[in-house]
Amino acid sequence: MIPYGKQSISQLDIDSVVEVMRSGLLTQGAVVPEFESRISNYCASLYAVSTNNATSALHLACLALGVAPGDIVWTSPITFVASANCAKYCGASIDFVDVEPNTGLMSVASLEEKLLLAAKRGSLPKVIIPVHYSGQSCDMVKISLLATKYGIKVIEDASHALGATYLGSKIGSCKYSDVCIFSFHPVKMITTAEGGMALTNNEVIAKIIRKLKNHGIVQNSAIAPWYYEQQELGFNYRMPDLLAALGISQLQQLDTFLIKRRQAADYYYKNIDSEKLETIYQHEYGESSYHLFPILLKNSQLRLELYDLFLAHGIKCQVHYIPVYKQPHYNQAGSDHYSGSESFYQRELSIPIFVDITAENLKTIIKLLNSF
Ligand SMILES: *Cc1c(COP(=O)(O)O)cnc(C)c1O
């Protein structure tokens, strides 16, 4: 079965993990800080704090920005549920900003319109969480200008977008946001099995996230070198050294991973008959990391037929995503009708893209697509 996405594990990765297994320290040694500093160097942010997954990082980022009961957080409906759940963990309520129907990215026009209305009604969000869907950046200059105008904080959910660029900078530089989150789940750009990271240029935010991921405990060496005191109620959201070792060796291969994903994407662009089949629009302002390769069918019936055709040939595509407000838990939450999200959801199918996808795999997929 060819999946829509999967990890690429080399001997370098195996050796890197085994070395930590033999070192005596499996967690909270020198490897985690090394991984954090390599990620912040790669992305050119001042701070990077690792967590046990991106969901935890999103939760702590919300807490660090002061999200509390009574607050409102806005995100995209076309995302993994964690982008919305993080606000609910803090007791806040969640609402959605519609997406561009041809990219699945938060629509700046919808955001502007919704902000204007919310300002009049006194129901502005405290935080907005744009999602760099499929590995393509949202238009962060415009989003951050609007956020500044209305006094709102910005968390980038960049779970898909490690290695992607926006206006010449790597996603994670936090030039246009308060915090940026990456996921290292196996289907994402690099993996630590489970893992996440919060990047920021704000020292106070970094310190809060670091404290909260470790039970709210910090060292108070003014009292004694062994004096670790719990200052508030935090969590155990730590990444172990064992997994950070995998992260380091994966990060060393990221640029190769990106080249291979872009080669696969180029092959699709060259060979998909664009008269018959739409791919998502790529904005000129940056370069995608191609975590996903979404195509857009004319309607949901055709999408289902194509999904079944692929499955019959041993290829497992996936729909990204069911809009969050349609999830039973959310039960039509959100205050608007989201025409962009509805259309995107009806039409989208993610076809396989991953580092080790073979030329033969790609050929088979193109043959099926163009015969459809
Ligand atoms: C994968 C993903 C997450 C959650 O990542 P975990 O590391 O599995 O917690 C959050 N947001 C988006 C958009 C994702 O794709």
Question: Is the shortest distance between the CB of 51 and ligand 1 below 6 Å?
Answer: no
Cβ contact 203:40 at 8 Å: no
Residue that is written with structure tokens 């404290």 in the block:
211
Distance of CA 299 to the CA centre of its chain: 27
Say how far apart CA 46 and CA 29 lie, in whole Å.
21
pLDDT digits (tens, 9 = 90+) for 62-121: 999 999 999 999 999 999 999 999 999 999 999 999 999 999 999 999 999 999 999 999
**Does 334 score more than 80 pLDDT?**
no
Say how far apart CA 284 and CA 229 lie, in whole Å.
50
For residues 33-37, give the mean pLDDT. Answer: 98
**DSSP code at position 214:** B
Question: Is the shortest distance between the CB of 135 and ligand 1 below 6 Å?
Answer: no
pTM of the model: 0.98
As a whole number, the mean pLDDT across the chain is 97
Cβ contact 348:320 at 8 Å: yes
Give me the percent of the chain exceeding a pLDDT of 70. Answer: 100
Q: How confident is the model at residue 337 (pLDDT cuts 50, 70, 90)?
A: confident
Q: Which of 75, 183, 239, 292 for mutating ligand 1's site (highest number of atoms within 8 Å of CB)?
A: 183
**Does 331 score more than 80 pLDDT?**
yes
Q: How confident is the model at residue 335 (pLDDT cuts 50, 70, 90)?
A: confident
Q: Which of 62, 80, 88, 320 for mutating ligand 1's site (highest number of atoms within 8 Å of CB)?
A: 80
Say how far apart CA 132 and CA 104 lie, in whole Å.
9
Q: How far is CA 305 from CA 179, 213, 311, 331, in A?
A: 40, 45, 10, 28
Question: Is the shortest distance between the CB of 80 and ligand 1 below 6 Å?
Answer: yes
Say how far apart CA 58 and CA 322 lie, in whole Å.
20
Token digits of residue 303: 């999408």
At 92, the amino acid letter reads A
Q: Which of 6, 53, 55 for mutating ligand 1's site (highest number of atoms within 8 Å of CB)?
A: 55
Q: Which helix (H) or strand (E) holds 31?
A: helix 31-43
Q: Which helix (H) or strand (E) holds 154?
A: strand 153-157
Give me the percent of the chain exceeding a pLDDT of 90. Answer: 97
Dist. CA 274 → ligand 1 center (Å): 31
**DSSP code at position 236:** B
* pLDDT score for 275: 87
Q: Which atom of ligand 1 is nearest to the CA of 53?
A: 7
Dist. CA 110 → ligand 1 center (Å): 24
Cβ contact 73:94 at 8 Å: yes
Question: Is the shortest distance between the CB of 50 and ligand 1 below 6 Å?
Answer: no
Cβ contact 338:326 at 8 Å: no
* pLDDT score for 276: 87
**DSSP code at position 291:** S
pLDDT digits (tens, 9 = 90+) for 215-269: 999 999 999 999 999 999 999 999 999 999 999 999 999 999 999 999 999 999 9
